[in-house]
Amino acid sequence: MRIERIKARAVMAPLAVPITTAQASIPAAPLVLVDVETDEGVSGSAYIFGYTPPMLKPLVTFLTDLSEALVGSPAHPADVDRQTASQFRLLGRQGMVGMALAGLDLALWDAHGKAVGQPVCALFGTAPRPLPCYDSQGLFVPGRDERLIEASLARGFKAIKVKLGFPTVAEDVAALRVVRDMIGPERQLMLDYNQAFDAPEAIARIRVLEEAGLDLTWVEEPVPAEDLAGYRSVRTAVSTAIQSGENWWHPADAARMIAATDYAMPDIIKIGGLSGWFRAAAIAEAAGVPVSSHLFVEASAHALAATTNAHLLEWLDVAGGVMTEPYAIEDGCVTARGPGLGITWDDDKIARHLVH
Ligand SMILES: [Mg+2]
């Protein structure tokens, strides 16, 4: 099977629930859709989350130009990995290059699954299985966002994560108290600080959260993702479990950071596609660290199904708005489906939301 064509398109995919951060409310997801056509008539599909609209055009252009070097190459993830590793040795593969290559890796695995009529997780040795997931909410502001928590409960989630962006930890406690009271003591509650603090501030805040008895399953990214010393000191100083990993680039970052986190949640794009995911998951398993996912519910559902140290799937559906059959929650779980990754483009919706 050889690569015949790589197609990249950018869309602003409408979101069922806008993503809210301390800075903005995002009504649509900037995505690059990657389709790889092969000489055997099978094609593979995946998408890249661009984070911000100005990333879309460069990603589309880069993938389109890159495809000239890859047409005629074997459509195998390991072969493309080898070829592009040497092609980008001097530049490095972090940032946009890594995102594009990971999208390609996912699309190639999708093609391989479709070629044998199997879900991708079967290629990694397992059948699809229901994976417990958590609803990944944005910024929670008391008095404004209770309806979002109610919606999570109505959909059957047994775990909920919120972000906070308040100046004081007293406001953090007040907001989390509202959520904890709404969801009761049995459901899991997680907090994402999105790299907001230095280590001393993070330690001070988390100690107050602990004294407040909020029973947090984890506190995520309390300090900047690359701050190894910061993670070490936070982890030593507090008893709450620390989660990190969505900003690790490739398995090398997992190897560097794994001893300084309790939980890991590699982003299947930044970690290097499914190929990178399983290398990072093995590093985490050897260190005794359970692995959750970040975004990309479809690919993550396949990856986690075949990950022996799987923890929770993050439910944040960014691509359902351009698919004919979006993935769904059932009894608080997501189950992978095939063939391939189970991604089904809705061409009408794509045409309506196409930007590049
Ligand atoms: Mg996060």
Q: Where does residue 101 fall: left (phi above 0), alpha (psi -120 to 50 degrees), or beta otherwise?
A: alpha
pLDDT for residue 339 = 98
Rounded to the nearest angstrom, the distance between the alpha carbon of 313 and the centre of ligand 1 is: 12
Active-site hit among 112, 294, 302, 353: 294
- What is the spatial distance between Cα 80 and Cα 84, in angstroms, rounded to a whole number? 6
Q: What is the fold of 122-334?
A: TIM Barrel (3.20.20)
Per-block average pLDDT, block size 10, for the chain (356 residues)? Answer: 98 90 81 98 97 96 96 97 95 96 98 98 98 96 95 96 95 98 98 96 98 98 97 98 98 98 98 98 98 98 98 97 96 97 98 97
Nearest of 354, 291, 325, 273 to residue 101 by alpha carbon: 273
Catalytic residue at 294?
A: yes
Rounded to the nearest angstrom, the distance between the alpha carbon of 32 and the centre of ligand 1 is: 21
pLDDT for residue 23 = 65
Domain boundaries, given as residue ranges, for the chain: 3-117+347-353, 122-334
Nearby residues for ligand 1 (ion, Cβ within 5 Å): 192, 220
- What is the spatial distance between Cα 59 and Cα 45, in angstroms, rounded to a whole number? 16
The answer to whether the bond into 222 is cis (omega within 30° of 0) is no
Q: Which residues pair with 166 in a beta bridge?
A: none
What's at 205, amino acid-wise?
R
Scored b (16 or more CB within 10 A) or e, 193-229 reads bbbbbebeebbebbeebeebebebbbbbbbbbbebee
Rounded to the nearest angstrom, the distance between the alpha carbon of 194 and the centre of ligand 1 is: 6
DSSP alpha helix (H) spans, 36-157: 56-70, 77-87, 96-115, 120-123, 146-154
Catalytic residue at 270?
A: no
pLDDT for residue 19 = 82
Rounded to the nearest angstrom, the distance between the alpha carbon of 245 and the centre of ligand 1 is: 8
Q: Which residues pair with 94 in a beta bridge?
A: none
**Contact at 8 Å (CB) between 31 and 55?**
no
DSSP state of 260: G
Rounded to the nearest angstrom, the distance between the alpha carbon of 135 and the centre of ligand 1 is: 12
Q: Alpha-carbon dihedral of residues 10, 14, 20, 21, nearest 10 degrees?
A: 0
Rounded to the nearest angstrom, the distance between the alpha carbon of 137 and the centre of ligand 1 is: 10
Please spell the DSSP secondary structure of 303-335, one letter per residue: HHHT-TTB--EEE--SSGGGBSS----BTTEE-
What would you report as the CA-atom Rg of the chain, rounded to the nearest whole angstrom? Answer: 20
Which residue has 């929770």 as its token pair?
312
**How many Cβ atoms sit within 10 Å of the Cβ of residue 323?**
20
- What is the spatial distance between Cα 148 and Cα 344, in angstroms, rounded to a whole number? 28
Rounded to the nearest angstrom, the distance between the alpha carbon of 196 and the centre of ligand 1 is: 11
**Contact at 8 Å (CB) between 270 and 298?**
no
According to CATH, the superfamily of the domain at 3-117+347-353 is Enolase-like, N-terminal domain (3.30.390.10)
- Grouping H, G, I as helix, E, B as strand and the rest as coil, residue 276 is helix
What's at 236, amino acid-wise?
T
pLDDT for residue 22 = 65
Active-site hit among 158, 163, 250, 302: 163
Nearest of 296, 292, 266, 253 to residue 120 by alpha carbon: 296
